[in-house]
Amino acid sequence: MGDDTYLIALNCGSSSIKGRLYVVPHSKKEKFEQQATLSVSNIGAPGEPIHFTLKWSDNKGKDMDIHTDDGGSVEHKDLFPRILDHLSGSGGVKKDQIRYVTHRIVHGGENKKPLVVTKEHPEALKDMDKLGEFAPLHNYHAILGVRACLDVLPESKNLLCFDTLFHQTLPPAVYKYSLPPTKVKTVIPLRKYGFHGLSYASITHTLSKELGRPANLVVCHLGSGCSAACIHEGKSIDTSMGLTPLEGLVGGTRTGSIDPTAIFHHTPDYAEMVPELHVNKAEYIMNKKSGLVGLSGTTNFGHICERKAANVGDVLGKNEKSDGFKVTKEDKENAAVTYDVFLDRLMAYLSQYVMKLAYETGGVEKIDGIVFAGGIGEHSAELRRDAIGRLGVLGVKIDEKKNEAGVPDGKTQVLVSTGDSKVKVYIVLTDEEGWTAHMAREVFDI
């Protein structure tokens, strides 16, 4: 790996760090080549060991899968020196070779472009600190990651890549909230900003390139966080998330859109702070204890589908390491209603966006695609079938065999609609880290 220059794309969550290492090509005509993927989990989790994995592409280094200290005793800033040590020890990548770092930042407020941060010029981080209250479970830890990188890689150029950037094209009719003027100045205007923008940008770029023109798409990003977006001629014209990621679809741990007063009745001490997370109880419960886990007890959508289909008394997931999960009548009923709630909320946005885009383009058949992405979107054939089945009245049809097969190994997308479907339906493996590398190439001219 000699004198190569590297870029590392990072995504820091409240309890995890994910990243990809790329070699910076010598020519702008060449693509960034992925060298390795890494993940660190259980950060800040007492009683759980820190789990570190490092997987090298094409045997470029020695893969690692290790458990270390108790997560409760480790902070994000403690882990970056170790990550660099592992990259060096297992793959020969020296610290001074990592010249560029990209960071996924969920909330960028009114910023219309990514921001550059260096050790000598960290000014942008002050503004990011102020935005923390609008994405408290994401921005806070992401900024910790940026500061840690500036400390351990003082010569590096860091790029803050915001999920909100893609949605800067939302029209006022969509982003305005029907609230009276505020009596005090807020950090940012209280309006819809939208999120998962790096995913939407990646998908839109890929399909637009195939079409040879800006694409018209309805995209459902369904993972631990869930959202949908309506994309006209390559630009976002509507999206389900709002001022914060809480608005919109049901998520793994988020309520999605509910009557705002419900939490006041659910949690009488809603204003009390949860110090270690820098949020109040209302935000904590609605962001971390609700959604799929609040309804069914699990965030795993696959498990929800299994429990829904199982017979009472069935034991699921039994193996050498686990006695499995014995399904009760209540488990089965909760799983069924959880699935139905998730599908209902998804259809509320999916059908709305299909009709909105049909109006903008001049007909349903002018829509270039309905896209499913994210962990649930990629892996749940049942959800895709049921969602598209409800669009059958519009002439949208799914190919059962292709849908069940999913994305073939080695591919990043697959068409799963029938030949006579009025709208094509895709499963696309989104690439948020790769998109931040693309952004870095443009900003740093590399």
pLDDT for res 76: 86
pLDDT for res 199: 98
pLDDT for res 130: 87
- What is the reported pTM? 0.95
Q: Any bridge partners for residue 228, and if so which?
A: 220
Separation of alpha carbons 198 and 164, rounded Å: 8
Outline where 94-196 has alpha helix (H): 124-131, 139-152, 172-175
pLDDT for res 1: 59
pLDDT for res 44: 81
pLDDT for res 123: 85
Contact by Cβ (8 Å): 422, 197: no
Q: Which class would CATH give 212-255+290-432? A: alpha beta
pLDDT for res 322: 82
Which of 404, 445, 444, 394 is CA-nearest to residue 427?
Answer: 404
Q: Does domain 6-169 have CATH number 1.10.1040.10?
A: no
Q: Which ranges in the chain are annotated with CATH 3.30.420.40?
A: 6-169, 212-255+290-432
Is residue 331 among the annotated active site residues? Answer: no
Annotated binding site: 11, 18, 104, 221-225, 375-379, 432
Separation of alpha carbons 217 and 238, rounded Å: 11
Q: 348 — phi, psi (to 5°)?
A: -60, -40
Annotated binding site for ATP: 18, 221-225, 375-379
Angle at 428 between CA 13 and CA 158, to 5 degrees: 40
Outline where 229-379 has alpha helix (H): 262-266, 281-288, 291-296, 301-309, 329-361, 374-379
Alpha carbon distances (Å) from 2 to 63, 96, 101, 269, 404: 19, 12, 19, 58, 45
Annotated binding site for Mg(2+): 11, 432
3-state helix vs strand vs coil in the chain, percent to 5: 40, 20, 40
Which of 435, 338, 363, 207 is CA-nearest to residue 219?
Answer: 207
**Both tokens of residue 292?**
């799929």
Annotated binding site for substrate: 104
Strand 413-415 and strand 425-428: the pairing is: antiparallel
Angle at 413 between CA 408 and CA 417, to 5 degrees: 95
Separation of alpha carbons 188 and 42, rounded Å: 32
- Which residue in the list 3, 58, 85, 163 is annotated as catalytic? 163
pLDDT tens-digit series, residues 99-122: 999 999 999 999 999 999 999 988
Q: Walk along the chain (446 residues) and give the pLDDT tens digit of each residue.
A: 568 999 999 999 878 999 999 999 989 889 999 999 999 999 888 888 999 999 999 999 999 999 998 888 888 888 999 999 999 999 999 999 999 999 999 999 999 999 999 999 888 898 898 898 898 778 988 999 999 999 999 999 999 999 999 999 999 999 999 999 999 999 999 999 999 999 999 999 999 999 999 999 999 999 999 999 999 999 999 999 999 999 999 999 999 999 999 999 999 999 999 887 778 999 999 999 999 999 999 999 999 999 999 999 999 998 887 889 999 999 999 999 999 999 999 999 999 999 999 999 999 999 999 999 999 999 999 999 999 999 999 999 999 999 999 999 999 999 999 999 999 999 999 999 999 999 999 999 99
The residue type found at 14 is S
pLDDT for res 312: 97
pLDDT tens-digit series, residues 228-267: 999 999 999 999 999 999 999 999 999 999 999 999 999 9
